[in-house]
Structure 1
């Protein structure tokens, strides 16, 4: 079978390896090759600006998640690593999607199930590429799969347990509009059966809109109220059963308690061990770049929340430190978001904004019109951190929570976060001079 791997990065590399080892006739088709992902020795490849013009004669085109399906013109079948995994996976899959919190919730689920003695494979953006573990799966394993809208876009089989977290406008630089974004996310439930389960947030209309499309059993999670898994009096509950205290969660922010609620609900589909749930929550101490304390410098806490690429996630970061003196670093590359809500929240909590990156000019103007103190800093991270350090107050916090993507100045959100951490370590060692 003639197979094209359309786009060559981490996922494309995994797909090439999988189909090549299976004995297929595989060609890499990609606009460019990066030094991070060099071509395998002896691999057939079509490389260049117009590489995707040469897909028509392949039997199967395996698209990487970054490539829109409608950009592919072929007489063959359009497929993906995610579709291949779902089609051949012999064990239950817990799929997790949402605008933010996917990685944290997936990690919570994996940690809880492992504490209960389950063998778990965590795959997706935060785990290993799914096709790398397909041949390793054992009959009693459980897969936890973090799923973005790009992976769900053309998914043809849905997970046995689908978790739909809070949804807000995102990736509108790729999706045509919010309707297309929701339609893509809906792939997580679209092919479920009556024997499957969807777990959604009842207070988020987009989460509920997606959940209603499932023919399976519906469950709810939330931080309060009459839901299957919820928080009351400082503890997690299932119906009226106390599971454990919320102090088991080692992460900052009320939104992480909601992520834990969702993870508990998903885990209870497979275990009924409250002690394991508490141990699993305690064991997970967070992922990089997700509201993580870098260190304290001169009484100021510096937090890396570079993963916050939407206004809603940056608002959640501000709310986590309400009552403190806050400096927030906002800005980056544009994903079509409206920054008014995050500026209004900065005004409400009295935060000072350091406006950075490509969207910094827009954010600075909004701050001025809302009477929010703002400093415009167009430099790279060392200059940004020095500017923030000069205005930060003792016992206060500085948060990199940009509400924007990173590609204007950095390779990725993780690169941006790493440079922030390095710059903070720099002022801790050498000061701001």
Structure 2
């Protein structure tokens, strides 16, 4: 048996370890488009295929190709079966899985679910993009545990099973530099729903039409025959509104079925979008066959203070508060960041383009109380032109591939006491940084180096 590990980053290393243990007598090959000297160490006894045609020319005789999440299945040319860590996990996991997808908010929602469940005394495994590689923890999972899985479009591309509880957050165009188009992106998202059964749960965003489209996905032909051509939306519920008996916000309280659970003050994350994320998380927990007290919901919300680089408070310098939202790689996430504050704002935008349309973001900036917009990075000119076209009246400072300390210094010079400065780029980071983490860490360091 010949097994190809396609893509050799963090997940690829995990895949190799797992499948070598599962198939000790198999022949293993690592394939990666990067040069050999840019890859992690390949273990003895494992062959390597590297270079730009690694996935398309030399995998034909494989029995199994285990792709890394961001590698499109269409790019793999093989006669063997194309598989993934996500498929393997869903196929073998003995515990119930809560799967969360959407364009933004997945990590926060997953973390809130896990935090609430842990306060309720449950053993929870948080996996996917947010946690350790899923196959690393699979051998440790028991039937009585609960898995919370953050599912990106890349992980959902070819998923063959859906989670028992599917949570579909707000969706907007994203990753269009990897997906063939938005339809491909949305179709990948639909796999969180299409393999569900009628007894499974689907919770979806109350106003987002794309989330509704995912929730309305017909159930797969292998599922309950009695469904036939039924409207699958009849078997899904919206969160954050009272109509569908899920958790919503009213008069400063999280409520369900006209009953107050706890004050929204227990949620320590800023912004209306995080209130929605909390409603989604709490709604998912209510669907489990366990008892969670109101006090445990409150403690779970309160014990989660936010993930790094997700609208995270950094410091206050000279009366100006700085927030790191480097995870923001879409216009919609930057819009949510702007709406989280009532103070005058200095917004830092720009980076590597992913095919997004910035018109709606520019229109929101025009409506907001803005001090300045600083555009930087590879798509700075494009964003600046759209801002001017939408008659954004605040100061627009256009930088071209400036260092993060220069960007932060420029923001500090534009800001006045009482303002907030938000790094929410609405673009990927790979033009100037290793990752959004690297971008956020450089922002934090530059802010901390500002004089008081």
- Sort the TM-score into its range (normalised by shorter chain): over 0.9
Question: Equivalent residue of 2:5, what SS?
Answer: strand
Question: Equivalent residue of 1:193, what SS?
Answer: coil
Match of residue 349 from structure 2:
330
Contact 2:328 2:425 in 1 (8 A): yes
Task: Within 5 Å, give how 1:174-189 maps onto structure 2.
Answer: 174-189=178-193
Q: Distance in 2 between matches of 1:41 and 1:328?
A: 50
1:211 partnered with 2:215: yes
Structure 1: gaps (5+ residues): none
Contact 1:10 1:37 in 2 (8 A): no
Question: Equivalent residue of 1:427, what SS?
Answer: coil
Q: Distance in 2 between matches of 1:226 and 1:193?
A: 19
**Worse-matched range after superposition: 103-112 or 39-48:** 39-48
Q: Distance in 2 between matches of 1:246 and 1:409?
A: 38
Of 140, 146, 169, the residue aligned with 1:165 is 169
- Residue 43 of structure 1 and its aligned partner are, at CA, apart by 2.6
Match of residue 296 from structure 2:
276
Of 142, 145, 148, the residue aligned with 2:149 is 145
- Residue 347 of structure 1 and its aligned partner are, at CA, apart by 1.4
Of 32, 55, 66, the residue aligned with 1:62 is 66
Scaled by the length of structure 1, the TM-score of the pair is 0.96
Contact 1:69 1:78 in 2 (8 A): yes
TM-aligned CA distance change 1:97 to 1:34, over 3 Å: farther
Match of residue 343 from structure 1:
362
1:294 partnered with 2:303: no
1:9-52 CA-partner distances (Å, limit 9, x unpaired): 11101100101122132211111257673323443211222212
Q: Distance in 2 between matches of 1:424 and 1:43?
A: 45
Of 197, 201, 224, the residue aligned with 1:197 is 201
Of 396, 418, 425, the residue aligned with 2:448 is 425
Contact 1:377 1:387 in 2 (8 A): no
Q: Distance in 1 between matches of 2:33 and 2:104?
A: 29
Q: Distance in 2 between matches of 1:218 and 1:314?
A: 29
Q: Distance in 1 between matches of 2:267 and 2:398?
A: 36
Contact 2:242 2:256 in 1 (8 A): no
1:387 partnered with 2:410: yes
Contact 1:198 1:214 in 2 (8 A): no
Q: Distance in 2 between matches of 1:78 and 1:356?
A: 39
- Residue 3 of structure 1 and its aligned partner are, at CA, apart by 0.6
Question: Equivalent residue of 2:186, what SS?
Answer: helix
1:412 partnered with 2:414: no
Q: Distance in 1 between matches of 2:106 and 2:382?
A: 28
Task: Within 5 Å, give how 1:33-48 maps onto structure 2.
Answer: 33=36, 37-48=40-51
Match of residue 317 from structure 1:
337
